[in-house]
């Protein structure tokens, strides 16, 4: 995108996306929404709309911290791939090589590899209850959860087909911990957040700057917007769900991904690793174009390859999308869970449409 044309697109982005997001917030009764757009490594649009809490919350800004839910998973995958690069993990190896205490009531567990877990093709079941109302905070919580899976069975043969599994990512987080001789959270903090300068991002909400943290909301029985009684945090489910971040911090993550795994001299992964993570491994459904790589969902938009992941938990929704060939990305997050229409997805789609639309 030529410099003059890029500047014109950015001007159009501000002029058109501001009112679009304001309309989303008003029509969908969202407490708050934050949106960022990254072009050629620069955060060219950063806006907050609404408030962090109803009633009486502070205005949402690009530094407001939102629970990102399943947008956590690509961080898990990146940590695993760093360990692959370091020779500490092999994608083709069975997960039990790294977690010898991990058992299921299913002999097929022996065929579940790290790659199958990363690509949601392991046959693993999903989490029934995250116990957000009974959170565990100690460092042993993740291994303890993995050890509770002994009575579970696989839902399908390993490698048979795509089936989204949060349990798979709890197990992968434990692999990160054991292969690195660290806790999962400490590893990601030291090897991803700190090198990228994601200074306010955390996997442990209690460690976040509380004045920046948005609260989650839902609808009451009589249709009123109300704050969720509990915040979605439990250390036993940190790898699948507990990323807390802002537009500005997520922009640094996206900029690294758009720059072949490096940002400001910090090399997170080598380009070949990203290429492997973004290689299609299976369709989500035979009739759908969306495919899965290693944690990332793969599609196309207006002729461009798209790499994306969404998140949704009690009180929150989020979405991140990358167009590597266009050097373009968008991220959005809101503190509500009650909309039929996925508001962050609408915001990121609108941003991409504006940035990719030729001037008439």
Q: What is the pLDDT of residue 9?
A: 79
The string of pLDDT tens digits covering residues 20-50 is 999 999 999 999 999 999 999 999 999 999 9
The string of pLDDT tens digits covering residues 315-335 is 999 999 999 999 999 999 999
Residue located via tokens 């109803």: 54
Active-site residue 70, yes or no? yes
Which residue, 317, 64, 49, is CA-closest to 213?
A: 64
The string of pLDDT tens digits covering residues 179-216 is 999 999 999 999 999 999 999 999 999 999 999 999 99
Q: Helix (H, G, I), strand (E, B), or coil: what is residue 24?
A: helix
Rg of the chain taking only CA atoms, in angstroms: 20
CB-side neighbour CA atoms (13 Å) of 118:
31
Q: Return all residues near 185 (Cβ < 8 A) that are at least 6 apart.
A: 202, 203, 204, 235, 238
Q: What is the mean pLDDT of the chain?
A: 96
Q: CA-CA distance, 330 to 332, in Å (whole number)?
A: 7
Average pLDDT score over residue span 147-165: 97
Q: CA-CA distance, 332 to 71, in Å (whole number)?
A: 11
Task: Please answer whether residues 30 and 339 qualify as being in contact, where contact means their C-beta atoms are separated by less than 8 angstroms.
Answer: yes
Task: Please answer whether residues 146 and 240 qualify as being in contact, where contact means their C-beta atoms are separated by less than 8 angstroms.
Answer: no
User: Going from the N-terminus, what domains does the chain have, and what CATH number goes with each?
Assistant: 3-71+185-356 (3.40.710.10), 75-181 (no CATH)
Q: Answer whether residue 170 shows pLDDT above 60.
A: yes
Q: Where does the chain show beta strands of DSSP type E?
A: 32-39, 42-50, 66-69, 217-219, 225-227, 243-245, 262-263, 266-267, 282-283, 291-292, 297-301, 304-313, 316-323, 328-334
The string of pLDDT tens digits covering residues 234-270 is 999 999 999 999 999 999 999 999 999 999 999 999 9
Residue located via tokens 């590899």: 113
Q: Answer whether residue 224 shows pLDDT above 80.
A: yes
Q: What is the pLDDT of residue 4?
A: 58
The string of pLDDT tens digits covering residues 68-118 is 999 999 999 999 999 999 999 999 999 999 999 999 999 999 999 999 999
Q: Answer whether residue 360 shows pLDDT above 50.
A: no
Catalytic residue among 70, 122, 183, 241: 70
Average pLDDT score over residue span 284-289: 92
Q: CA-CA distance, 305 to 299, in Å (whole number)?
A: 6
């Amino acid at each position: 995108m030529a410099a003059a044309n890029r500047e014109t697109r950015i001007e159009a982005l501000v002029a058109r996306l501001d009112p679009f997001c304001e309309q989303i917030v008003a029509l969908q009764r969202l407490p708050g929404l934050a949106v960022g757009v990254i072009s050629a490594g620069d955060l060219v649009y950063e806006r907050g709309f609404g408030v962090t809490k109803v009633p009486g919350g502070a205005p949402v800004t690009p530094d407001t911290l939102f629970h990102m839910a399943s947008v956590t998973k690509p961080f898990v995958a990146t940590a695993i791939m760093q360990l692959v690069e370091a020779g500490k993990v092999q994608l083709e190896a069975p997960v039990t090589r790294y977690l010898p205490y991990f058992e299921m009531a299913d002999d097929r567990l022996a065929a579940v590899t790290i790659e199958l877990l990363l690509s949601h093709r392991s046959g693993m079941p999903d989490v029934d209850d995250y116990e957000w109302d009974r959170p565990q905070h100690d460092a042993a919580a993740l291994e303890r959860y993995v050890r509770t899976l002994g009575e579970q069975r696989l839902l399908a043969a390993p490698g048979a087909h795509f089936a989204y599994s949060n349990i798979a990512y709890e197990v992968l987080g434990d692999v990160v911990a054991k292969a690195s001789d660290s806790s999962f959270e400490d590893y990601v903090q030291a090897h991803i957040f700190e090198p990228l300068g994601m200074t306010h991002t955390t996997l442990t909400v209690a460690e976040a700057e509380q004045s920046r943290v948005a609260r989650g909301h839902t609808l009451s029985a009589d249709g009123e917007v109300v704050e969720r009684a509990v915040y979605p945090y439990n250390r036993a489910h940190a790898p699948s769900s507990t990323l807390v971040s802002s537009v500005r911090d997520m922009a640094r993550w996206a900029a690294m991904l758009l720059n072949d795994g490096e940002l400001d001299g910090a090399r997170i992964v080598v380009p070949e690793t990203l290429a492997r993570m973004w290689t299609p491994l299976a369709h989500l459904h035979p009739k759908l174009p969306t495919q899965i790589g290693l944690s990332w969902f793969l599609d196309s938009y207006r002729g461009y390859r798209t790499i994306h992941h969404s998140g949704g938990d009690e009180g929150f929704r989020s979405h991140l999308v990358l167009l590597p060939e266009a050097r373009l990305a968008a991220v959005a997050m809101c503190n509500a869970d009650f909309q039929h229409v996925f508001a962050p997805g609408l915001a990121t789609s609108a941003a991409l449409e504006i940035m990719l639309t030729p001037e008439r």
